[in-house]
A and B are shown apart, each in its own frame.
Chain A
Amino acid sequence: MSIVALELKSITKSFPQRELLRGVDLALQSSNSYVLTGDNGCGKTTLMRIVAGLEPASGGAMRFEGVAIDLRRYPETLRRMLVYVHQQPYLFHTSIAHNIAYGLKMRGVPKHQRELLVGEAIAWAGVGHLTDVLPHKLSGGEKQRVALARAKVLRPRLMLLDEPTANLDSDARRQTLALIETLRHEDVTVMIASHDREIIAMPHVERLHLEAGRVSAA
């Protein structure tokens, strides 16, 4: 039996000149993976940012694992259950290990345990040979993998990945795709905004389409 991780009801988002989201209804089953497609500028990023509490919605309701969420006062506890990864992730100008440890630190994970988890995450992302390289000197693909590790290490209930393979050359894209593929074995719900055919074609991924401000199964 599957339970609903995220449920959106009539989510709207309008700007003075434009109604971007016109009532998004959506239910994501726990531990499943979803790809969200849609034309450029249709609101995929905006929708994910609303869910992640980085942007306010104009209206609508959200439930997370059955609990109603007050979108006007986005709860801090929910922030710790899901994580949004930018299309072009920002890495702090410190070190790869520090970047991956950041969220664990925020959750009060003790140092020895943190180091263990960070080590695992570095291995998972295949960036072990890069740990002495300054984060901002990494290539786009390496940054993306570090950002994925930084998100996954938190064992979130929901991961929101914004076009994780866009702007990557074929090798980098392949490595990123391989990482995303491994997430299916984790107990995490994944929503990926993407135009990437290979992600869209992944057999375990359910397809959602955003068009004219609404989401439908594709």
Chain B
Amino acid sequence: MDLLEPTRYAFYLLFTGDPALWRIIFTSLYCSLAAIALIAPPAVALGFLIAIVSFPGRRALVVFSQALLSFPTVVVGLVIYMLLSRQGPLGFLKLLFTPEAIIIGYMVIAFPVLVVFTLSAVQGADPRVHETARSLGARRLRAAWTTLFEVRFGVMAAVVNSFGRVVSEVGCAIMVGGNIAGLTRNIPTAIALETSKGEFAQGIALGFVLIVLALGVNVALSVPQGEGGMK
């Protein structure tokens, strides 16, 4: 099979702004960013709380959250599909096969990633952070905020990681999104389902964009780390 020709065509599609292609990229970005923006604040807050408040069953909750990290995303998709399907309890919302359904799925997938990464970042913080803040006159809540700010690179890593996970996720997006052209077709579902129909150039172009996105966010994360200072 000739690889050169579809690759050349892939870049032609990308740089001439092929509307179908860019629509797919837009859908991916929109769903991923919206999901992370919605779920990150409560998930980070929860991870932080689990890290600093001790309560019965905390250990079990941590183990459970860690186990959720390897929960198959296609099963997340299956559950959300059943909830949103016409006969399902949330069927009246008519969200199945919409970008919003994908966003819900992404939120569910990103949630444990954000919680667990935040939790371990805060637990890894030097105990002197909190004590120093308290001794300098910070009240409890303010000292907690200072601690979270001290581990801001860990929290950013949580956000970047969860973004990387959802943006490249296939199973859930196919199940609840349905790969509808111009509506819910996103980068991974297009690659997975359209390539077999002979869309090699599009697949290559999208694969290229996905790699750039995944690498790009990690590079963007490492820049302030180098200057602003990890430990």
A residues engaging B (CB < 8 A)?
52-54, 76, 79-80, 83-86, 88-90, 92-93, 102-103, 106-107, 134, 136-137, 150-151, 154
| Cα–Cα, bound, A150→B126 (Å) | 19
B195 in the interface (beta carbon within 8 A) = no
B41 in the interface (beta carbon within 8 A) = no
B contacts with A: majority SS: helix
Whether B132 contacts A86 by the Cβ 8 Å rule is: yes
Residues of B within 8 A of A83 (CB): 135-137
The answer to whether residues A90 and B129 also contact, given A106-B142, A134-B229, A137-B229 and a CB cut-off of 8 A, is yes
| Cα–Cα, bound, A52→B136 (Å) | 10
Residue of B nearest to A76 (CB): B139
Whether B132 contacts A79 by the Cβ 8 Å rule is: no
The answer to whether residues A93 and B150 also contact, given A86-B128, A106-B142 and a CB cut-off of 8 A, is yes
B133 in the interface (beta carbon within 8 A) = yes
Partner of B129, one of A53, A80, A92: A92
Whether B229 contacts A93 by the Cβ 8 Å rule is: yes
Residues of B within 8 A of A90 (CB): 126, 128-129, 131-132
Whether A54 contacts B137 by the Cβ 8 Å rule is: no
A-B contacts, 12 of them at CB < 8 A, read A52-B135, A53-B134, A54-B134, A76-B139, A79-B137, A86-B132, A93-B150, A93-B231, A106-B142, A136-B231, A151-B136, A154-B136
B56 in the interface (beta carbon within 8 A) = no
| Cα–Cα, bound, A54→B126 (Å) | 15
| Cα–Cα, bound, A93→B147 (Å) | 11
Q: How large is the interface on B (under 10, 10 to 19, 20 to 34, 35 or more residues)?
A: 10 to 19
Residues of A within 8 A of B133 (CB): 102
Which one of B129, B132, B134 has the highest number of Cβ atoms from chain A below 10 Å of its Cβ?
A: B132
Residues of A within 8 A of B161 (CB): none
B138 in the interface (beta carbon within 8 A) = yes
- Besides A103-B136, A136-B231, A154-B137, 14 new A-B residue pairs in contact (Cβ under 8 A), listed by A number: A52-B135, A54-B131, A54-B135, A76-B139, A83-B136, A84-B131, A84-B135, A88-B128, A90-B132, A92-B150, A93-B231, A102-B136, A102-B138, A102-B146
| Cα–Cα, bound, A86→B150 (Å) | 18
Partner of B137, one of A80, A85, A89: A80
In the complex, the number of residue pairs spanning A and B with C-beta atoms less than 8 Å apart equals 57
| Cα–Cα, bound, A86→B136 (Å) | 12
| Cα–Cα, bound, A83→B126 (Å) | 19
Residues of B within 8 A of A88 (CB): 128
Residues of B within 8 A of A54 (CB): 131, 134-135
| Cα–Cα, bound, A90→B134 (Å) | 12
Which one of B135, B142, B229 has the highest number of Cβ atoms from chain A below 10 Å of its Cβ?
A: B135
**B residues 106-147 touching A (CB-CB < 8 Å):** 126, 128-129, 131-139, 142, 146
B228 in the interface (beta carbon within 8 A) = yes
Which one of A80, A103, A154 has the highest number of Cβ atoms from chain B below 10 Å of its Cβ?
A: A103
Nearest CB of chain A from residue B224's CB, rounded to whole Å: 11
Residues of B within 8 A of A150 (CB): 136
Which one of A88, A89, A102, A136 has the highest number of Cβ atoms from chain B below 10 Å of its Cβ?
A: A102
Residues of A within 8 A of B142 (CB): 106
Nearest CB of chain A from residue B145's CB, rounded to whole Å: 11
Residues of A within 8 A of B139 (CB): 76, 106
Nearest CB of chain B from residue A56's CB, rounded to whole Å: 13
Residue of B nearest to A54 (CB): B131
| Cα–Cα, bound, A151→B44 (Å) | 31
Residues of B within 8 A of A102 (CB): 133, 136, 138, 146
Whether A107 contacts B137 by the Cβ 8 Å rule is: yes
Whether A92 contacts B135 by the Cβ 8 Å rule is: no
